[in-house]
Amino acid sequence: MGMFDTITVKAKMPESWPKDQDPVFQTKDLECLMFDYEIREDNKLYIEKVKYKEAERSSKKDDHWLNTFPLMEWDRMLQNIFHF
> Average pLDDT of 11-25?
87
pLDDT tens digits for 36-69? 999 999 989 998 887 777 777 666 666 666 666 7
- The pTM of this model reads 0.62
pLDDT tens digits for 69-79? 766 676 777 77
Count of CB atoms situated within 10 Å of the CB of 39: 19
Count of CB atoms situated within 10 Å of the CB of 46: 19
What span, in angstroms and rounded, lies between the C-alpha atoms of 74 and 5?
Answer: 19
Are residues 4 and 36 in contact, defined by beta-carbon separation less than 8 angstroms?
A: no
